[in-house]
Amino acid sequence: MSTSPKQALLKEYALVAQALAAPARLVLLEQLAQTEAAVETLARKTGLTVANASQHLQQLRRAGLVTSRRAGKAVIYRLQDARAITLMALLNEVAEANLAQVADILDGLYGGAPAPEPITRADLAERLAQGAVTLLDIRPEDEFAAGHIPDARNTTLADLDRLLPTLDPKAEIVAYCRGPYCIYAHQAVALLRNRGFNARRMDGGLPQWREDGREVRGGTRA
């Protein structure tokens, strides 16, 4: 029996869906949404073995989500299409809206209290232009150096307590990290609010800010 065009198309669509159906592949996509990287780097940053990371990346490549190039002996991967970032965000939105477990997990980061409403990227851009907000980038320093929102201060969760004495307790603080699957910003906001600061996170992360067409700068930790 021959395959109908519709069935053939659905098979290809399902290939993309299947590529997303593993936490390891989602975290690899999250990393590649920050910047391109070698297989060894991706393995180190995601806690996978090089062989396992390579297998997952090959499946993502077969689904058209990533592409690769050689640089000497290294194989460098990057997102094939920036729309993959939109797809990742939609998965997050659908899960948050329809899976009670997702809300429970996020609320758990705030000690059981509802997660505070995030600030939109448009509102954040306006407040940054007014100098009315302190912005924290809660990502590792190498990711910050590869690209960050202008005027952001870089810190990790481990270093956040040491940064607190330098923050204005009356100022609004906004944190951001890698995107919809990253919880660093949630955790930073929870810690800041527990210390009495007026804090919330940005909706989305650095990749969404960049895909909005907003300015992104490179450089070392501020």
Dihedral (Cα; 66, 71, 72, 73), 10-degree rounding: -30
- Residue of 48, 63, 84, 177 marked catalytic: 177
Buried b (16+ CB within 10 A) or exposed e, 105-118: eeeeebeeeebeeb
Q: Which amino acid would we find at residue 195?
A: R
User: Which pair of structure tokens corresponds to residue 157?
Assistant: 């969760």
Kindly list the distances between the CA atom of residue 197 and the CA atoms of 1, 69, 170, 172, 190, in Å, as whole numbers in the listed order. 65, 45, 7, 8, 10
**Phi and psi for 37 in degrees, rounded to 5?**
-160, 155
Task: Give the span between the Cα atoms of 86 and 211, in whole angstroms.
Answer: 9
What 3-state DSSP class applies to 75? Answer: strand
Kindly list the distances between the CA atom of residue 149 and the CA atoms of 41, 119, 125, 154, 222, in Å, as whole numbers in the listed order. 23, 15, 10, 10, 11
Half-sphere exposure of 62 (CA within 13 A, CB side): 15
- Helix axis angle for 50-62 and 5-19, nearest 10°, is 150
Q: Is 177 a catalytic residue?
A: yes
What are the residue numbers of the active site?
177
